[in-house]
Structure 1
Amino acid sequence: MGSGRKNESRRVWPAATVAASLVASVAHAGASTPSVRLRIAAKPVRAALIDFALQADLSLGGDLDLCVGEAPALAGRMPIDTALKKLLAHSGCGYVQPDIRTIVVRKAEPPPPRVSHPTPRVAPPSPSDSPTSLAIGEIVITAQRYPNLPGRTPYGISVVSGETIDREGVASMSDLSGQVAGMTVTNLGPGRDKILLRGLSDGAFTGQTQSMVALYLDDVPITYNAPDPNLRLADIDRVEVMRGPQGTLYGGGSLGGVLRIATRQPDLDGFDAMAMVGLSQTAHGGIGTELESMVNLPLLPGRLALRTVAYRDSQDGYINNPALGLSHINGSQREGFRAALSAALSSEWVATFNVTDQSIHNDDTQYAIRRLGRRVRDNLVREPHDNDFDRESLTLNGEGDWGRLTASIAKLAHHFDSRYDASTATALYGLPSGPAALDEAKSIDLTIAEATYTTPQDRRWRALLGVFASTGSTKLRTALGSYPLVGDPAYAEARKDKINETAVYGELTFDITSRLAATAGLRWFDYRFDTLSVVTQAAGQRLFDGSDDAEGVSPKVLLSYRARPNVLVYAQAAEGYRPGGYNTAGRLGQIFDQPRTPHRRYEPDELWNYEIGAKARWWGDRLQTRLALFYATWNAVQSDQYLSDGTAYTANIGNGENRGVEAEGAWRVNSHLDLRAATILNDPEINRPNATFGSRRKAGLPGVSRVAASTGFDYHRDVAQDRVLRVQGQFSYVGNSYITFDANKMHKMGKFLAVRAGAAWETPSWTLTATIDNPLGGYANSFSFGNPFLILRDRVVTPPRPRTIAVRLSSRF
């Protein structure tokens, strides 16, 4: 399992970077500037303000749509107030800055009439007393391939800011699921989970099918048919969640939506550094550690800058295995490094080269067996898992009065391997009774190129055009035998899939009136794949060699109507798809294409989503709400499954559907208290089962509940000069669901409440944070998949991490 030499280099590199960060931080302590470097073309004031907020890393709110005229082009470094005055000159708008992270734009009041006699001077209200200062700013997003504000975008989009991620100690995607309506993350373990959106699930297992949710790191996809690589959310600007099928803009593998991690980009002018250390204690477990650092170095001020991030964290286990005499077996370690080198080629063009490298090692899986009691199992073989992720990419961004262009090329390498205890299946493979193991090693190597162009946003007709190409392969090696393995395995498969995909896509938007707009989108794709598989057992070999070519289109239509300046309603229909493929696994003698057996060729699946929604801002942007009603039809649902001998295959299990409502809201109660809430009520099901698969009608979709809700609060108060005391809490409820399509009560899961609370003492230079997860010590079945050989043999429970207390100290230099 794993490559020791590579892992050793991984351990040295992040640690050395952290040390270098600390040294550089001390050397440059005190260097800071309130100015920002801008690159904004001449355009309408609203669009210019959105670009400004994105480049200045600020949230934005207020009466943007009431600002008139065109803002001048801005290029170079300048103070924030200078830039805003230039952008808003002659627009009829002004602004206030209630805090260092938020800009609120307001329609300017007309000047008072002149009077001939003196009037007493009245001081303007302070920001803390003014209702204007209570507005909630929005984080600019780019998931639509151009900048916009999520509350003013006619899609089901949510965003979590980097500031929230830092303050709440969010380190992984699973930590975000309680904040985003309709987001579910399985609980297999770090680097093994699947992310699901809006109640759409193809099952608990990850096999040959393309992912349900497309994951992006900046402008580059980072998954194909793999679990979430669980990249640590270190030095992140924001996480964008785009729900529903996004086949037009993002292609196959986006049936459930798109999740995009936007990293903080290099600052071309100012030095910046951060260091963080943390400790945690888990009940029924032990000590965990965190170490993270960031350094931003302007190599040629104004022209070239390097930003590096390094981290290492570990978690102690809480599952025991008395059969092996082991405790706390499911510990994990993660370490990684990220670097971005940005160069300003001109006032319109910026090029950025990115490198990301991360490795995860899990000592064992984190499920228990119900019959043995809490957090206990009796496997004869440990089940470690490694997940190594590498990405190199080059991105070119340009913008002028001609529009906006983004082009990128990336090389992705994602390698992960797992071991499962196969001791219960020895008889099927002619092995002697005793310990046995199934080892799976999968590698995904892709080269991806993409370019998108958007016309200027001040036109009545607006267009987006894109081209996409990818080439590469996935390799899978499977071996099953007695453990420890001596000689040849009892079963082995070596499989390679060559993948080539090209696509051309576009969207066209027309403003029918000043309030009503229509958008139509279309993606043409051509997908080619070749599969070569060799299955080997003592009795001989089975060879399979197949290829196929699929092409088609993925459309979208959208109508949006701005009923009032603060109310947006929309209706859309959109399609998503995934290509088909071949089944090759199974023992010699495995039958295909017969009743109750796998098909050699599984078919593409297609999902249509119909949605109407509304977004509104109330009380001067103090309350922001989003509501969506949706109905999805899903044809020929693909799902990765396991045979009784533990080998994997993919089935088209039938047709499904989901209908429901989701809502999100954020409320700034006063200058000290913010509240947020999210919920989804839906009814996912298989309404036309495939008779050859055996799924049950109206049994629901695996791993997603019919109801989920969350709420949270953030209370903050200045207790001294530049000192802030902050208290936060989050409560999330997940309803019942099942791990299989037959709704077998043996595989029931969910119906639990997750609680997280924290407190922080913040100063301008350092922050001390304490958090507690699962303070009530809740024990529920958060997931039900142990390993392929236990699905039908035992009742598996995957409990949440027990009560964990963490303390973090971070400092900026």
Structure 2
Amino acid sequence: MNIRTIAAALSVGTCIAALAVPAHAQTTNYDIPQGSLKAALDAYGRQSGRPVIYRADDVRGVNTRGYRGTASPDQALEGLLAGTGFTARAGDAGSVAIVRAEVGGPSAEDSSADENGAGGEIVVTARKREETLSDVPAAITAFSGRDLEDIGADDFDDYALRVPGLGFTSLGAAGPRGIGPQINIRGLPDTGYYIGETPIPPSNLKLVDINRVEVLKGPQGTLYGTSSMGGLVKIVPNVANVRQLEMRGEGTLSSTKHGGLNYDVNAMINAPIIEDRLALRIVGYKLRKDGFIDRVPATDAFGGLDLGAIEEDVNVEKVWGLRASLVARPTDWLDIELNALHENQKSEDVGFYDTFVRDVTGNFGRLLPIKEPVENKISLYNLTLRADAGIFDITSATSLYKLDSYSVEDRTLLGNFYVGLLTAQGPSIVSSLVAAGLLPPGSTVVSPVNNSFFSVGSNSTDLDTKRWIQEIRLSSKAGGRLNWTIGGFFQDTSTTNLFFGEIPNAAAAATLSVNAPGIGLIPFPLLVNDIVINRLSDSDTRELGLFGEASYDFTDQFTLTLGGRLYKTKFASVLTDLSSSIFVPTVQNFPRASVSDSGFAPKANLSFRPDEDTMLYAQVSKGFRAGSFTNTSAFSPLCSAELAQFGITRGDIVPLKSDTLWSYEGGAKFSRMNRRLFVDAAVFYNDWSDLQQLFLLSCGVGFNVNAGKARSYGAELSIEARPAEGLTLGFAGGYLNTRITEGDPRATLQVGDSFNLSPKWMFAANGEYRFPLDGIGEGLNGYLRADYQYQGRTTFDFQNAPTSQKPSLDVVNARMGLVSDRWEAALFVDNLFNEESILADFTLSAVGTPVPIGTNNRRIRPFTPRTIGINVSVKY
């Protein structure tokens, strides 16, 4: 059955189920007796049909006057909480979180959804139900919308350095071939990435009007499935608010060292169409980041620089996007959310520089004859239905994700190298032809090795990805001793890649002159044409999952959680060479191949609350990464001899099964000083088996196999303190020790190696002081803020070569500003001391050789140089 048909059927089925729900939740007559606040909140949840989130230990022993009468849900809740010392904060889909009044934050009537608490009071959905961060017995780093604004976070790079245990590379706003950040959590390379309810490939999306960002540590396969063996990054945008009109506008101007002027503008409007029933929220944004890297054209194959033709500041990035959210509540027991997002990411030239060019020119510069532009178009559509079925809640999420990417890559120096490699093999090629009787005995090569061939060439990649996702889950009502979630998940991802590239005159340059006795000098071409590649690649990945998780409170202190996921994955692909090329002299198109895998990922968690402000927990869980295969029909004939050493014939399918991980974690969360101090600590140990690792061949390609074992362990600590009025201090730190324990000598992984993108130490600290300025203006406040991030050295890959090293970094940001009820203005400096760290390494070419030839060069993407700017926002 077609995936679109399945998704539509599941969605319609959920609608029918929702419409069949009894209308008891529509009552507006409240009868909540005085007494226990906990019992009263449970009664309110039943009578109003609204999900109510609270910490049982917080409200235990607190009494309420109750509420009786006919009223709106907000009026009833306000009366219920009067005099209790608690207030309500609006959450997603009509839910409310009950927090202590002194914590601050908006009430149920305050529609600013991005004012999402502080410290342990941030509401998260890590377990696919709304809970405060301090109530989740697992290691999570979360940033509220207010946090993201305070640090001036625009994209992934701006918060990633603040997460203990997170290592990454970043290719900027527009990564070539649609590639987003490569994310490792606790040294594990398989990390999930969600936008709201939708899993998508990691993307450096612009952060505008965001409710929160959650980073979940350790395997998340039970509730989130594949691509989450190491953990999960979850971005939750604000959705339409049916209660209040909101408007917000923001603008930023800045200047970057070595570059020029940058600008960033965005606007949001939230408009209730039918109060409490229907609302629309629209967000639009546009930014331009000026380049700071120069392009210096090459004059020859050895890295000669044409200093008279320098083009300055070529790595300009442009991003624009639109997001819309339509929320309908036709009844008090049904919520309908329709969300749409489109973002266009464009880079005029890839943002890396060559170290040897900088040594010559003194500036960030890259040696390439041509520009390498990139454009990525990302679209995401989601329909989420939430229904109150009386004794449980139903959630259905149907999504479509699309990525269209077009990028151009220079192949001049690769072509130069390849021609030299071929012509150097001329004598052995002619000898083999003589032995085969195809050339007369005594034939010799008279032309020298061609190491000086220089011809400007490139290839383009046109990528189209579509992903359909459907998830349905049932969840118990909060408030009882037993809480559970069960569900089903289906995902289908199809990707089409069209590669085309050529290097003019390559075939002529790779033609040998052979002296054949009795014949004379004859030309002998080693290449059939000048085409580097002309290939169409189609792949399809499907995942089916059935999952469940249940928590039971044996006492008010002990809670046991058990969960598991049955999964089945299938990966299929086919390669079609549209013409012969340098790497495929004779077209051989092979039939479609596929590989399937299945398994079970369990989880067990035990938590203990000795008092209302302390939680201890221990957890064991299993993670997995979906398998795939390598189709060696795409390999050059030059690889045949090496493949034979592995017992593989060119054209074979090399299967790759899932690798697995057992993770053991223990942690503590507690608050002190009347909730002015939050502490979150965790220790962990990971046992990784059947690693998917790369076997790199000298012919310039590689394939993945399951081989080896590894282990990692570490500790993480996060602290947030408010020691005095207006002063907030934060600290996050992590230690990580990784090691390959078993390997294969032919693989890139070797026993004793550390994992890539896994710094041993990392720290992040911040301090902010807010103070009133009543003497200047009523309701006016000022603030001063500083942030510091440190990551230790690591590697970009498992080769541990000098060209693979990622040095440590120290980054300091500073910010100061004025805040009123309606506007905010700030001056900021990012990367205050102009740290020149490395975010990505392009040094190794396809053949594993530094480019350009003959230079000790690194091609790296640097951390953005010091940027100074002003930010102004206005809201209504």
TM-score, normalising length: structure 2: 0.77
**Correspondence 1:175 to 2:164:** no
Q: CA deviation at 1:218?
A: 1.1
Please name the residue that 1:737 is paired with: 794
**Correspondence 1:685 to 2:739:** yes
**Correspondence 1:86 to 2:80:** yes
Q: What pairs with 1:303-314 in structure 2 (closer than 5 Å)?
A: 303-314=277-288
Q: Residue 621 and residue 595 in structure 1: after superposition, are their counterparts in 2 closer, same or farther (change >3 A)?
A: farther
Q: Residue 315 and residue 717 in structure 1: after superposition, are their counterparts in 2 closer, same or farther (change >3 A)?
A: same
Q: Does the CA-based 8 Å contact 2:173-2:205 persist in structure 1? A: no
Q: Does the CA-based 8 Å contact 2:534-2:580 persist in structure 1? A: yes
Higher alpha-carbon Rg: 2
Q: CA deviation at 1:593?
A: 5.4
Please name the residue that 1:806 is paired with: 869
Q: Partners of 1:372 and 1:579 in 2: how far apart?
A: 41
1:504 aligned partner, one-letter code: L
Q: Residue 78 and residue 505 in structure 1: after superposition, are their counterparts in 2 closer, same or farther (change >3 A)?
A: closer
Q: Residue 41 and residue 249 in structure 1: after superposition, are their counterparts in 2 closer, same or farther (change >3 A)?
A: farther
Q: Residue 481 and residue 163 in structure 1: after superposition, are their counterparts in 2 closer, same or farther (change >3 A)?
A: same
Q: CA deviation at 1:533?
A: 1.2
Q: Residue 61 and residue 717 in structure 1: after superposition, are their counterparts in 2 closer, same or farther (change >3 A)?
A: farther
Please name the residue that 1:120 is paired with: none
Q: Partners of 1:472 and 1:797 in 2: how far apart?
A: 31
Please name the residue that 2:199 is paired with: 221
**Correspondence 1:751 to 2:808:** yes
Please name the residue that 1:465 is paired with: 486
Name the % identity: 22
1:541 aligned partner, one-letter code: V
For this pair of structures, how many residues does the alignment match? 732
Q: Residue 415 and residue 51 in structure 1: after superposition, are their counterparts in 2 closer, same or farther (change >3 A)?
A: farther
Cα RMSD after superposing both structures: 3.6
Q: Partners of 2:834 and 2:54 in 1: how far apart?
A: 37
Q: Residue 790 and residue 694 in structure 1: after superposition, are their counterparts in 2 closer, same or farther (change >3 A)?
A: closer
Q: Residue 310 and residue 57 in structure 1: after superposition, are their counterparts in 2 closer, same or farther (change >3 A)?
A: farther
Q: What pairs with 1:474-489 in structure 2 (closer than 5 Å)?
A: 474-482=495-503, 489=531
1:611 aligned partner, one-letter code: E
Match of 2:86 among 79, 95, 117: 95
The secondary structure found in structure 1 opposite 2:589 is strand
Q: Does the CA-based 8 Å contact 1:39-1:348 persist in structure 2? A: no
Q: Residue 662 and residue 61 in structure 1: after superposition, are their counterparts in 2 closer, same or farther (change >3 A)?
A: farther
Q: CA deviation at 1:272?
A: 1.2
Q: Partners of 2:621 and 2:271 in 1: how far apart?
A: 44
Q: Partners of 2:829 and 2:616 in 1: how far apart?
A: 39
Please name the residue that 2:400 is paired with: 411
Q: Which runs of 5+ in 2 are unaligned?
A: 1-27, 33-37, 90-95, 103-116, 298-308, 421-452, 508-528, 851-856
The secondary structure found in structure 2 opposite 1:63 is helix
Please name the residue that 1:504 is paired with: 546
Match of 1:160 among 127, 130, 143: 143
Q: Residue 104 and residue 582 in structure 1: after superposition, are their counterparts in 2 closer, same or farther (change >3 A)?
A: closer
The secondary structure found in structure 1 opposite 2:773 is strand
Please name the residue that 1:763 is paired with: 820
1:92-116 deviation digits (Å, cap 9, x = unpaired): x423799xx9975289xxxxxxxxx
Which structure is higher in helix share? 2
Q: Residue 231 and residue 251 in structure 1: after superposition, are their counterparts in 2 closer, same or farther (change >3 A)?
A: same
Q: CA deviation at 1:83?
A: 2.4
Match of 1:540 among 573, 586, 591: 586
Q: Partners of 2:78 and 2:87 in 1: how far apart?
A: 10
Q: CA deviation at 1:349?
A: 0.9
Q: Residue 713 and residue 186 in structure 1: after superposition, are their counterparts in 2 closer, same or farther (change >3 A)?
A: same
Please name the residue that 2:620 is paired with: 573
Match of 1:346 among 324, 331, 334: 331
Q: Residue 521 and residue 61 in structure 1: after superposition, are their counterparts in 2 closer, same or farther (change >3 A)?
A: closer
Q: CA deviation at 1:440?
A: 2.8
1:277 aligned partner, one-letter code: G
Q: Does the CA-based 8 Å contact 1:497-1:529 persist in structure 2? A: yes
Please name the residue that 1:586 is paired with: 635
Q: Residue 541 and residue 266 in structure 1: after superposition, are their counterparts in 2 closer, same or farther (change >3 A)?
A: same
The secondary structure found in structure 2 opposite 1:778 is coil
The secondary structure found in structure 2 opposite 1:277 is strand
Q: Residue 320 and residue 73 in structure 1: after superposition, are their counterparts in 2 closer, same or farther (change >3 A)?
A: farther
Q: Partners of 2:373 and 2:69 in 1: how far apart?
A: 54
Q: Does the CA-based 8 Å contact 1:50-1:140 persist in structure 2? A: no
Q: Which runs of 5+ in 1 are unaligned?
A: 1-37, 108-133, 203-211
1:221 aligned partner, one-letter code: P
Q: Residue 511 and residue 269 in structure 1: after superposition, are their counterparts in 2 closer, same or farther (change >3 A)?
A: closer
1:249-281 deviation digits (Å, cap 9, x = unpaired): 000100111111111121113221111121110
1:315-370 deviation digits (Å, cap 9, x = unpaired): 01111222252111211111110001111021111101111100101122222222
Q: CA deviation at 1:509?
A: 1.7
Please name the residue that 1:63 is paired with: 58
Q: Partners of 1:336 and 1:41 in 2: how far apart?
A: 47
Moved more, 167-176 or 351-360: 167-176
Match of 1:254 among 225, 228, 238: 228
1:741-777 deviation digits (Å, cap 9, x = unpaired): 1211232113110111111211111111221111112
Q: Residue 63 and residue 542 in structure 1: after superposition, are their counterparts in 2 closer, same or farther (change >3 A)?
A: same
Q: Partners of 2:670 and 2:132 in 1: how far apart?
A: 13
Q: Partners of 1:480 and 1:714 in 2: how far apart?
A: 52
Q: Does the CA-based 8 Å contact 1:40-1:48 persist in structure 2? A: no
1:9-45 deviation digits (Å, cap 9, x = unpaired): xxxxxxxxxxxxxxxxxxxxxxxxxxxxx99999856
Q: What pairs with 1:493-642 in structure 2 (closer than 5 Å)?
A: 493-535=535-577, 536-538=579-581, 539-544=585-590, 545-584=592-631, 585-588=634-637, 590-591=639-640, 594-595=644-645, 600-639=654-693
Q: Partners of 1:240 and 1:233 in 2: how far apart?
A: 13
Please name the residue that 1:271 is paired with: 245
Q: Partners of 1:412 and 1:669 in 2: how far apart?
A: 45
Please name the residue that 1:11 is paired with: none
1:372-408 deviation digits (Å, cap 9, x = unpaired): 3252221223222222111111110123641222111
1:146-168 deviation digits (Å, cap 9, x = unpaired): 11111121011121011121233
Q: Partners of 2:844 and 2:555 in 1: how far apart?
A: 57
Q: Partners of 1:274 and 1:308 in 2: how far apart?
A: 11
Q: Partners of 2:54 and 2:475 in 1: how far apart?
A: 23
Q: Does the CA-based 8 Å contact 2:828-2:870 persist in structure 1? A: yes
Q: Partners of 1:261 and 1:292 in 2: how far apart?
A: 18
Give the structure, 1 or 2, with the largest relative contact order (CA under 8 Å, sep 6 or more): 1
Please name the residue that 1:25 is paired with: none
The secondary structure found in structure 1 opposite 2:413 is helix
Please name the residue that 1:10 is paired with: none
Q: CA deviation at 1:644?
A: 5.8
Q: Residue 427 and residue 97 in structure 1: after superposition, are their counterparts in 2 closer, same or farther (change >3 A)?
A: closer
Q: Partners of 1:353 and 1:677 in 2: how far apart?
A: 38
**Correspondence 1:713 to 2:767:** yes
TM-score, normalising length: structure 1: 0.83
Q: CA deviation at 1:239?
A: 0.9
Please name the residue that 1:695 is paired with: 749
Q: Partners of 1:334 and 1:515 in 2: how far apart?
A: 50
Q: What pairs with 1:266-415 in structure 2 (closer than 5 Å)?
A: 266-323=240-297, 325-373=310-358, 375-399=364-388, 401-415=390-404
Q: Does the CA-based 8 Å contact 2:638-2:699 persist in structure 1? A: no
Q: Partners of 2:147 and 2:470 in 1: how far apart?
A: 32
1:231-254 deviation digits (Å, cap 9, x = unpaired): 111111111111111111000100
Q: Residue 250 and residue 356 in structure 1: after superposition, are their counterparts in 2 closer, same or farther (change >3 A)?
A: same
Q: Partners of 1:595 and 1:72 in 2: how far apart?
A: 79
Q: Residue 286 and residue 201 in structure 1: after superposition, are their counterparts in 2 closer, same or farther (change >3 A)?
A: farther
Q: Residue 489 and residue 88 in structure 1: after superposition, are their counterparts in 2 closer, same or farther (change >3 A)?
A: farther
Q: CA deviation at 1:135?
A: 8.9
Q: CA deviation at 1:543?
A: 2.3
The secondary structure found in structure 1 opposite 2:356 is helix
Q: Residue 320 and residue 727 in structure 1: after superposition, are their counterparts in 2 closer, same or farther (change >3 A)?
A: same
